[in-house]
């Protein structure tokens, strides 16, 4: 149970990383490229930073089984989707249309890759560390 609590707290770390990544996009490089290109670059940066985060987290707090790793991935996925819509709509003031538009991979929106990585990341790093 203690390990699960650690991974719940770790998700807060992921959310902070994502917010900082978004701030870097808005204040750093988005003025120099299209909104779509900035979104895509931000997604790639986020995926890489999440990977480093997963690597260290699973090293310091080893997962016990592939089932546990998948369970954590599901938990993180649910937390992330809820956060995206609750924080995005009610705090940031984004419209529902804008929030759902980020899921349209056919329009070049790569947010879905973050969700997939958040879900499978613990499982992949559990297997790498075995």
| Residue 1 reports pLDDT greater than 80 | no
Residue 92 has pLDDT above 90, yes or no: no
Distances (CA, A) of 39 to 13, 46, 110: 21, 10, 8
User: What pTM was estimated for this model as a whole?
Assistant: 0.92
- For residue 33, which phi and psi values (nearest 5 degrees)? -150, 170
pLDDT digits (tens, 9 = 90+) for 7-37: 999 999 999 999 999 999 999 999 999 999 9
Coil vs helix vs strand at 34: coil
């Amino acid at each position: 149970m203690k390990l699960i609590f650690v991974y719940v707290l770790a998700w807060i770390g992921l959310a902070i990383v994502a917010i900082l990544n978004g701030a870097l996009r808005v204040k750093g490089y988005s003025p120099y490229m299209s909104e779509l290109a900035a979104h895509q670059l931000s997604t790639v940066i986020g995926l890489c930073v999440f990977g480093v985060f997963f690597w260290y987290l699973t090293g310091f707090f080893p997962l016990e089984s592939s089932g546990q790793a998948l369970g954590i991935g599901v938990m993180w996925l649910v937390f992330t989707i809820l956060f995206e819509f609750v924080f995005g709509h009610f705090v940031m003031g984004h419209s529902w249309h804008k929030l759902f538009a980020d899921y349209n991979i056919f329009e070049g929106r790569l947010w879905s890759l973050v969700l997939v990585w958040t879900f499978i990341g613990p499982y992949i790093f559990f297997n790498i560390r075995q």
